[in-house]
Structure 1
Amino acid sequence: MIRVVVVDDQEMVRAGFAALLAAQDGIEVVGQAADGETALTVCAATEPDVVLMDVRMPVLDGVEATARLLATPTPARVVMLTTFDIDDYVYSALRAGASGFLLKDATPEELVSAVRVVAAGEALLAPTVTSRLIGHFARQPGMVGTPPALDALTPREREVLVLIARGLSNKEIAARLVVAEQTVKTHVGRILGKLALRDRAQAVMAAYESGLVAPGVIDQSPR
């Protein structure tokens, strides 16, 4: 069972999401909260696998709540919920450790899929989110050199990391590199392990922050 906590200051949104998820096979809603502070208490008591976290809330906002939650001994994977086009929140939320974003007007199927995807250890990065992340780094001063951690990656692992940063799925990466999808999964696992990263969202951050991928370049990957 995937244990989920829903956090949103709007009661109707919170209750609707909780009811929808509770009706799904393999998903159990173990708690709800109306603000970030309460969310931390609820998560400490229930130890969920996934937290749906609203961005803007009273008492403690979703970004800060995410950072505090992921610093606890039993961190959950966090999907940020938003009613608007995220923009300024993308970088700070991913930096805090969020595994992805979901708009509140997403379809029921998209909501359920998001929970399952994140629970499985994948990142939920839509193209709009990736483009804003690229935009953030494009506005930063140029980065020079490669951090020592990336030296541990093989040339093929670096290729895979570049493609992850460009938003490609394992299936798309496999097609690009003409290898089996399982081979790509193995590469991804090794990349995360060598760089001590939790998931693909952190891998995207690492690729841009290290300078391995330069914002503004349409596609640096091999074909």
Structure 2
Amino acid sequence: MGSRSLKSLLLALLLAAPLASAEPGSVQGEVRISVIGADGEPRPKEDRSGVVVYLTGYTEEPPAEVALMSQANKAFSPGVLPIVAGQKVEFLNKDVVLHNVFSRSVARKFDAGKNRPGEKYVETFKKTGIIDVYCDIHEQMVATLVVVPNRAFAVTDGDGRFVLRGVPPGRYPLFAVHRRDQQSDIARTEVVVEAGRASTATLTLVETRPDDTHLDKRGKKYTPRPDYTGPDR
């Protein structure tokens, strides 16, 4: 091997060494929520659970695991569900009544149709976005899907704390989003992640009083409908 080739090889190895040794970092912190009351004054919210925190700037393959959003006691569980773009979600009716899960969101429109107790509907969500999920039979049922580009996401605990692990070193936009019926905007900041180190961040959401008002899957106001409990639809 000539001296020029040897120098080129050594230079390539030196340049590659930092990349090979760079290990993922993490992001930890809290989400603060201010609630705007009827008097227009902001007050800190005690329960800060159920906020999805995620970052963008790179993509990852979705997990093979099928995420679950069930219906029980005429409510969705969980009320907010983060998934990676391309991941499947199973909507399982664990209730004793009929449900019709649907969304009219710009990010993804779908209609599961009427599902009896024990039946399920599976949908793949290929694009990132925030998707409001409802039941066409029970107006009070509200949930949110947050479709993100990678696996660096978390859902806050009651104190608003979160940890994102396995983040490649770099500078990224960091977001926080609550269930959409809480009528809060998306909080945004930037975070710098260093190899093998934990970065910290604080995001603040301003939340008005909950508003569950929405239309049915036909774009019309809800009308009273009897619950299904028997063998016939």
Instruction: Tell me which protein shows more strand as a share of its residues.
Output: 2
Give the TM-score category using the shorter length. under 0.3
Q: TM-score, normalised by structure 1?
A: 0.25
Q: TM-score, normalised by structure 2?
A: 0.24
Instruction: Tell me which protein shows more helix as a share of its residues.
Output: 1
